[in-house]
Structure 1
Amino acid sequence: MFSLSLGRVDISCMTVLKILFSSVFPLEPDWSVTTYAVVIDVRLPRILAGILVGAALSISGASFQGVFQNPLVSPHILGVASGAGFGAALAILLFDNILMIHLVSFFFGLLSVGMTYSLSRVYKITPILMLVLSGIVVGSLFSALTSFLKYIADPMNKMPAIVFWLLGSLNHVSSKDLLITAPVFIVCISALLMVRWRINLLAMGEEDAKSLGVNTETLKAVIIVSATIATASAVCISGIIGWIGIMIPHIGRLIVGPDHKYLLPVSMLIGAAYLVAVDTIARTALVTEIPIGILTAIFGAPVFAFLLRKSQKAD
């Protein structure tokens, strides 16, 4: 149970709630301590984490697709998730501290997207194709490095933690994790929402955007850094959860069209609801919990194939 420690005074959340209820409403909480602990200490952090992670991955995917003018781009294809995953696995192996996991995963996530973008600029031809291929190369590199970490990790302690974490799960999310990562999520998502209409200008092309007075390099840096930090934050508390960043923006386009002014908030809301629903299925479908990354791949692959086929028929 959470408690607020003020000097020598230790006030439980149950006491605070009772005071608030009695002062505002003539009601007394009648739930048991066990019920309160399950709802507040276990279920609530998990639901909030699902909302934040789903929203962050969806809005990051939509932002990356707009910046790079490629509907097939996602945090995973660009290598961001693989880089952040390697950083988090490295931090689990060396530190096993949530703050260090967050910092190291962010660093390698930013490094991976920088490597992808730099590699794609080697050739001036077919930049979209080069971007996707570069992301595959960088993602494969960090995936191999992650496999090496699993190979050298302690097989009785560290390796199971890394493997289970890489499959994606919200099972171990605590209020402490949310306290550290929630402000990061909110800042990054807010930054992307504030510049969402400018992504439309980038989608027109850099020359057209510059002619309208937009500093394209600064804008791209803000969007890429914000989306990368949001993805790395998601990875560090939930592991690698695929398909959300590429599938949800396509669903959003079917609903509101390609205008990023509406696409980003709609994608964010759909992604949050989707991940909470998938997490509920993961908890209740079997006796043992199913890793979320497995379910998102099972659901995401056929849905994305259907969306691609439908868009091809529309063209």
Structure 2
Amino acid sequence: MRGGNTFHGKAFWTALACLALAAAVLSLFCGRYGLAPLSVVKAVLGLAEKNMDANIVLSVRLPRIILTLLVGAGLAISGAAFQGVFQNPLVSPDVLSVSSGAAFGAVLGIMLDFSEPVHIAFALVMGCVSVFLTYSGARVHRRVTVLSLVLSGIIMSALFNALISLMKYVADTETQLPAITYWLLGSFAATTYRHVMIVVLPVLLGMAVLLAMGHKINVLSLGDEEAASLGIDPYWTRIGIIVAATLVTAACITVTGIIGWVGLVIPHMARLLVGPDHSRLLPASVLLGAIFMTLMDLLSRTLLATEIPVGVLTALIGAPFFMFLFHRQAGMGS
């Protein structure tokens, strides 16, 4: 233990990795369609006696679990990176309007009756475009400050949310409106390996960049002048981190819809466990995010007879838990 409330060492990281694996295995064995544990094992090994068992395990549950691990890890590390860059623990991945921009792209694709791959592409493109617009709007006298960037993000989020509301108002109530509403709630339902392939490259690439930037995020917290004196260009370093975190967030949102609170709550949990050092905070956020999202998805499909959108569960659990963390940290600081 370090600093009275943080952990370090191989045992801690091994335990977190094992918990992530255990959550994935538990999710593989559990579901609304009852399968004996031996049937699941046989399906994974390619020895399933029934084609139905193999199809459920390999084509339904397995890609869904892989996606929950990737999305949970991606949203969590993006949130931790944004909080470090902006030096604000209340910042989340949608601070630069990436969530609302991606949502607008997906809703636009649904409104135009495009196929799923097309509206996924719309969401990814608009998520990146929204960040570009946010950054452009934040330029004041050829400078971009953290405050102007956050304010510009709030403005762009409000604009995209207004456009989404307008499209919901004019959408066909029989087909388009239900599809839009369900997508905005966030869900892993109907996940296939195609969704995994869409997410895996940008998420892993973005996470690799962010993990490599852990030390530089620590230096940025000392101030731009101190960072420059240590040989780090604060402007381009901050841009690189924002681009990587945006890529990860946009890729996740395009296939799942809006899943809130993960990028806000998980970094706080990680900070309580490993402290503020981003070289440990970022990997801890990856593992905790993967665990949290996998368990939330498991609850979403087993808690009731009908599946609950996972975005609803993360909000129901994340909001009060964040309040608990907030009061705990405030009490420790007083």
TM bin, normalised by shorter chain, reads: 0.7 to 0.9
Q: Verify: 1:75 aligned to 2:104, yes or no.
A: no
Q: Which amino acid aligns with 2:185?
A: L
Aligned-pair CA distance for 1:284: 0.8
Alpha-carbon shift at residue 132 of structure 1 (Å): 4.5
Q: 2:172 aligns with which of 149, 154, 160?
A: 154
Match of 1:100 among 115, 118, 121: 118
Q: Do the aligned partners of residues 36 and 86 (structure 1) sit closer, same or farther apart at CA in structure 2, a change above 3 Å counting?
A: same
1:251 aligns with 2:269: yes
Contact 1:106 1:228 in 2 (8 A): no
Which of 202, 222, 231 is the matching residue for 1:184? 202
TM superposition shift of 1:130: 5.4
Contact 2:48–2:54, Cα closer than 8 Å, also in 1? no
Distance 1:224 1:289, change over 3 A: same
Deviations 1:195-251 (A, max 9, x none): 222111111111111111112222222211111111111111110000000110000
Once the two structures are superposed, residues 152-192 of structure 1 have per-residue CA deviations (whole angstroms, 9 ceiling, x without a partner) of: 33322222111101100000211111122211211111111
Distance 1:256 1:166 in 2: 33
Structure 1 gap segments, 5+ residues each: 1-17, 22-27
Indicate whether 1:65 and 2:90 are aligned: no
Deviation for aligned residue 1:98: 4.5
* Separation in 2, partners of 1:131, 1:310: 29
Percent identity, aligned pairs only, is 46
Quote the residue 2:291 is aligned against.
Answer: 273
- Kindly indicate whether residue 259 of structure 2 is the aligned counterpart of residue 241 of structure 1: yes
User: 1:258-294: per-residue Cα shift (whole Å, max 9, x none)?
Assistant: 0000100100110111011011111011111111111
Residues 222 and 169 of structure 1, relative CA distance in 2, 3 Å threshold: same
Distance 1:74 1:30, change over 3 A: closer
Separation in structure 1 between the aligned mates of residue 116 and residue 57 of structure 2, nearest angstrom: 23
**Conserved? CA contact 1:252–1:266, under 8 Å:** yes
Residue 174 of structure 1 corresponds to: 192
Matched, 1:305 2:306: no
* Number of the residue aligned with 2:160: 142
Matched, 1:31 2:26: no
Letter in 1 for 2:50: S
CA–CA separation in structure 2 for the residues paired with 1:98 and 1:193: 32
Contact persistence 1:54–1:271 (CA under 8 A): yes
TM-score (norm 1): 0.85
Which residue of structure 2 aligns with residue 7 of structure 1? none
SS at match of 1:308: helix
**Which TM-score applies when normalising by structure 2?**
0.80
The one-letter code sitting in structure 2 at the alignment partner of 1:104 is F
Does 1:48 find its partner at 2:66?
Answer: yes
One-letter identity of the residue aligned with 1:111: V
Aligned to 2:25: none
Match of residue 9 from structure 1? none
Q: Distance in 2 between matches of 1:171 and 1:108?
A: 23
> C-alpha offsets along residues 48-69 of structure 1, whole Å, 9 cap, x if unaligned?
1111110110000001111111
**In the alignment, which residue of structure 2 is the partner of 1:90?**
108
Tell whether the 8 Å contact from 1:191 to 1:226 is kept in structure 2 after alignment: yes
Give me the whole-angstrom Cα distance separating, in 1, the residues matched to 2:77 and 2:62. 23
Unaligned runs of at least 5 residues, structure 2: 1-41
Say which of 310, 313, 319 aligns to 1:292. Answer: 310
In structure 2, the residue matched to 1:231 is 249
The letter of the residue matching 2:75 is L
In the TM superposition, what is the alpha-carbon distance from 1:131 to its structure 2 partner? Answer: 4.9
Structure 1 residue 78, shift from structure 2 partner:
3.3
Q: Superposition RMSD on alpha carbons, in Å?
A: 2.3
For residues 124-168 of structure 1, what are the alpha-carbon distances to aligned partners after superposition, in whole Å with 9 as ceiling and x for unaligned? xxx666555443332221111111222233322222111101100
